[in-house]
Amino acid sequence: MSPWLAGAVVLLAGAAMPAWWMASRGSAVDRLVGVELGSVVVTLELILFSQATGESQYLIVPLVLALLSAAGTLVYTRLLAPRSRRS
């Protein structure tokens, strides 16, 4: 097992699990924090997987995920915010 693959396993077991746990319990805001942490962990996981396999074309997946997760989180913060009285 290469160190990159070992790192991917460590990240999956050590970081993705608590993020998944936070994303599945508590209030909506609590779960959103779990989703934010989880998307960062999965992005890094995919970079490590690309390094482990030596396939650089796989890097397009974490690149798109980093862009979409940032935009998606901002949409969630907009949707979860309380409604304005004027609107």
CB of 64 to other proteins, least distance (A): 10
Q: Which of residues 22-61 bind other proteins (CB under 8 A)?
A: 22, 27, 29-30, 32-33, 36-37, 40-41, 43-44, 47-48, 51, 56, 59
Residue listed under structure tokens 């396939």: 55
Residues 40 and 69: their CA atoms lie apart, in Å, by 8
One DSSP character per residue, 2-18 reads -HHHHHHHHHIIIIIHH
Rounded to 10 degrees, what is the CA torsion of 34, 40, 46, 51? Answer: -140
Interface with other proteins, residue 5, by CB under 8 A: no
Contact 34/22 with Cβ under 8 angstroms? Answer: yes
- Contacts with other proteins by CB under 8 A lie at 3-4, 7, 10-11, 14-16, 18-19, 21-22, 27, 29-30, 32-33, 36-37, 40-41, 43-44, 47-48, 51, 56, 59, 62-63, 66-67, 70, 73-74, 77, 80-85
